[in-house]
Amino acid sequence: MKEEHEGFNHLLLDDHVWAWRLAIFLWAVAGSLFIAMAIPPVRDAIFSIDEAIYDATFPIKIGVVTAAAWALNFIGSGLFAWPLRIAVTLLLASRRRWEAVAAWVLALLLSEPFIWLLKQTYGRARPPEALVEVASDSFPSGHAIAGAVMAVGLVIAFVPAGAERRNMEIAAAGFALLMGASRVYLGAHYLTDVVSGVAFGAAAAIGAAVIVHRFYLRRFDRERSHAFEALQERRTQE
């Protein structure tokens, strides 16, 4: 009962219908770009726009902004992201926040395996010049996906649902957008790479929370119903 009580004090979502609609919208944004990139004439038009934006923005470099972009480059890398993910999982598990653990892990499962798969499928070349070393293909941005999943997932896991979470949700969205913008600024990705990545990562985090939240509520309602029936049976026997 203690775990159930803590769960109701820290619900993942306060309106899972709205959250599910948002997740579907974000998946639709990412999916539309995935489809568009598979259609040669549309892809060529997108490439032209992306290259024009790259040519216009890459020469512009400001010391403080570059330093911040380098910091975000490290935060989105596996060297930082995976230890953080493991630490968050262990912390939530130590608090017996199993619903939050499930949402956090499911968000990773809905995003991480697809980064490599999508990159291999599209095989888009990186921009011609970048301020950071890059190895894999360009579309979509793994940093953008990971940044959105972590930012949104952390807010869902640690900030209780309700009005007080709104500012943190805005901050998480802002961080995800900054992560994406930093990839374009560093010349590591084109704009389309990061827009699809942010949308896909945020959708994975929100969608995972909706799935787990609905399962958790059904589980609680079922257990509460069974407990009530058992109580009624004991009273009848008395």
User: Is residue 199 one of the residues assigned to a domain?
Assistant: yes
**Predicted pLDDT of residue 76:** 93
pLDDT higher than threshold 80 for residue 107 = yes
Mean pLDDT of the residues in the chain: 89
pLDDT higher than threshold 90 for residue 230 = no
CB 141 within 8 A of CB 30: no
CB 102 within 8 A of CB 113: no
DSSP H helices in 95-190: 98-109, 112-122, 142-158, 166-185
- Span of 7-21, 27-41, 137-151 with lowest mean pLDDT: 7-21
pLDDT higher than threshold 50 for residue 1 = no
Q: CA-to-CA distance for 96 and 74, rounded, in angstroms? A: 30
Label each residue of 49-62 as H, E or C: HHHHHHHHHCCCCC
pLDDT higher than threshold 90 for residue 218 = no
The 10s digit of each residue's pLDDT in 38-61 is 999 999 999 999 999 999 999 999
User: Is residue 187 one of the residues assigned to a domain?
Assistant: yes
Total of domains in the chain: 1
pLDDT higher than threshold 60 for residue 135 = yes
**Predicted pLDDT of residue 227:** 47
Q: CA-to-CA distance for 161 and 103, rounded, in angstroms? A: 14
pLDDT higher than threshold 80 for residue 162 = no
User: Is residue 230 one of the residues assigned to a domain?
Assistant: no
CB 172 within 8 A of CB 152: yes
pLDDT higher than threshold 70 for residue 204 = yes
User: Is residue 40 one of the residues assigned to a domain?
Assistant: yes
What is the phi/psi pair of residue 127, to 5°?
-60, 155
Q: By residue range, what is the domain housing residue 183?
A: 2-224
User: Is residue 238 one of the residues assigned to a domain?
Assistant: no
Q: CA-to-CA distance for 159 and 225, rounded, in angstroms? A: 28
User: Is residue 172 one of the residues assigned to a domain?
Assistant: yes
Helix, strand, or coil (residue 95): coil
User: How many residues comprise the chain?
Assistant: 238
User: Is residue 236 one of the residues assigned to a domain?
Assistant: no
**Torsion, CA 30, CA 16, CA 207, CA 153, rounded to 10:** 110
CATH at 17: 1.20.144
Average pLDDT over residues 203-213: 95
User: Is residue 229 one of the residues assigned to a domain?
Assistant: no
**Predicted pLDDT of residue 164:** 76
